[in-house]
Structure 1
């Protein structure tokens, strides 16, 4: 599965980068394929391992804020591996044919 998620501390002011970095640190330490951009972190793996990482990332932010917002989108598809790169590569391939 691929999960795209965003975890944001609430009530800590406008600068949330330090708390968000703690969540990303958890994701990167997991060893699972991942990608972080300006809005979301995407993570690929099996259900239990991915959801465990999301939970630990949320807990890392909760250590800095009593309230946390979590947005999560999941793509569950049997037989797909390396979806984080292969899905993007497919779109890029179509873009080259235009």
Structure 2
């Protein structure tokens, strides 16, 4: 189950597989996985990903942050685009 040295990458990999199979827009970095979608879809994926972790590990820890904007789509990319535009604008000021 758990790995020497406290590594959890196999358990996290199981969760990431669930997220990737969902078909929803997502991004995984060193610390978090961001998922974009409708409330019920996203929380179903969170539950299934957590269950996948618990199959590979004796415990799961979650940090959930929600940005709820009814009607907004594509914000995962759009937020980054706006940030990069702001950074570029500061360079030219």
TM-score (norm 1): 0.85
In the TM superposition, 1:5-84 aligns within 5 A as 12-13=2-3, 14-84=6-76
Measured on the aligned residues, the alpha-carbon RMSD in Å equals 1.2
Q: Select the structure that is richer in helix.
A: 2
Structure exhibiting the larger radius of gyration computed from Cα positions: 2
For CA contacts below 8 A with separation 6 or more, give which structure has more relative contact order: 1
Aligned residues: 88
Q: Select the structure that is richer in strand.
A: 1
- Unmatched 5+ residue regions in structure 1? 1-10
- Unmatched 5+ residue regions in structure 2? none
